[in-house]
Amino acid sequence: MLDYDALLEICTTENQRNKVQACIDYPSQQKAALALGIHISSLEKTLLKLRYRAEALGKSKHYLQDINIPQHLPVSGTSTLVKTEDGLQWIKTKASDQAKLKMMQDAVDALKEELPVYKPMQVHNNTMHNPDLVNLFTLTDTHIGDWASSSLGGDDWDLEIADKTICGIMQKMVDESPKAKTAILALLGDLIHYDSALYPHTPRSLNVLDTDGSMEMIVPVAIRILRRVIDILAQTHEKLVISIVRGNHDEASTIWIKEFLVQIYSNNPRIEILQGRLDYQVYQVGNLMLGWHHGDRRKPEQLPLLFATEYGKEWGASEYRYLHSGDKHHYSAKDISGVEVVQHEIMSGRNRYATVGGYASKRGATRYTYDINKGKIGSGTVPVC
C-alpha cells in the first residue's frame, strides 16, 4: 500500500498533487478516480511514476509498504530498480521453466479427465407445441466473473448475483413465451469476463479488469449457469438449437465452452449445437434466416452484406432475415435494406469502467418469437429488477 502523505513530498506538478490528495481524502483509488472525474488507469499511472521517482531517489522504503499478492495470482517475475556505476538499471527475474511446465501439465491433466455424457431430457410440458414457431433466447455480455458495486456508482454484480440473475431471467422469459416447438439459445459472446488463467485482462487490448475471483472459481459457475439454462429450454421445447460466437473478452473460453457442450449433450438428438465459424453463425429453416455476431468486429450496418456474402445459400433460401449482435451493452434495432439488425441489451451490472466513462443503459434480456413462414411475430423483454 502506498504512503500517500510521503508521496506528496515528491510531486512536481499540481496535477500530481491533486491525484495524490484525492487518494488521501477517499478510502480507495477507485473512489478517488471517480471524484476526480478520471479513469482509474490515469490515476494508477501517476502513482506508478511517483513510485519510480521514489526508487530513483533511493527513498522507496518510505513510499511503499508491504504488498499482499492474492493467492490465485501467482507471480511470474519481479523487477527492481537499482543504482549501478553506469546509472539506474532494472534487474528482472521470472518464474522458472519448471514452474511453467508444471502449470501446463496441470492444465493438460484437467483436460484429459473424462467428461460425463448426460441422458436425454424429457419435455415436461405435454401441451401441443406449434411446429412453425421458434423462440430465440439470447445470453450476451453476461461477464460472469466481473465485479461491480453500487457503492462505486454502478450496479452490484458478482458470481452469486450473476447466477441468480441469469437463471431467473431465463426462467421468466420461458414462462412468458409462446409454446414453440423449437428454442434457440444464442451465446453471443463475453459470457465470461476474462480468459487468462493468471491475470484478469482482455485478450487483445490487455485492459486490466475487476474480477470476483480466479478462473478456478469462475468456470464452475459458468458451467452451472449454462446447464441450468439448457435444462430449462430442453424441458419446455421439443428441439433446442445452440449458437455460439466468440466475444472480445472470452475468445479462448468460447472454444472450450463449445466443445464442453458438444461432449456432454452428444447423445441427445433434441439438442443441436451449430458448427462452423465462431465469429459468425447462421441458422436457416423454412423461410427464416437468423444470424449472430458479437458486434466487436463489424458495425450493424455492415452485417447484412457480410452475411449475404458468407452465407449465400441460406440467404437465398429465406425471405425473412434477422441478425443479432451485442458488445455495446445497450439495445438498438435497425432495418437495414429489409434486414432487421438487433443489438441486445445486457444483464450484467454497470462496472467501474462503464461508470467512469459515463456509459448507462437499461438492463434485461429479450426473447424473440419467429414463424418460419412469416418471420417475426412477437417479443418479450424481462428487465433486471
- Most confident among 53-67, 92-106, 208-222 (mean pLDDT): 208-222
Percent of the chain at pLDDT above 70?
Answer: 74
Q: Please state which of the ranges 135-144, 147-156, 244-253, 375-384 shows the lowest mean pLDDT.
A: 147-156
HEC readout, the chain: CECHHHHHHHCCCHHHHHHHHHHHHCCCHHHHHHHHCCCHHHHHHHHHHHHHHHHHCCCHHHCECCCCCCCCCCCCEEEEEEEECCEEEEEEEECCHHHHHHHHHHHHHHHHCCCCCCCCCCCCCCCCCEEEEEEEEEECCCCECECECHHHCCCCECHHHHHHHHHHHHHHHHHCCCCEEEEEEEECCCCECCCCCCCCECCCCCCECCECCCHHHHHHHHHHHHHHHHHHHHCCCCEEEEEECCCCCCCCHHHHHHHHHHHHCCCCCCEEECCCCCCCEEEEECCEEEEECCCCCCCHHHHHHHHHHHCHHHHHCCCEEEEEECCCCCCEEEEECCEEEEECCECCCCCHHHHHHCCCCCEEEEEEEEECCCEEEEEEEEECC
- Domains (range + CATH), the chain: 4-68 (no CATH), 70-113 (no CATH), 120-383 (3.60.21.10)
What is this structure's pTM? 0.67
Band (58; pLDDT cuts 50, 70, 90): low
**Residue 299 pLDDT exceeds 60:** yes
**Residue 40 pLDDT exceeds 50:** yes
What's the mean per-residue pLDDT of the chain?
A: 80
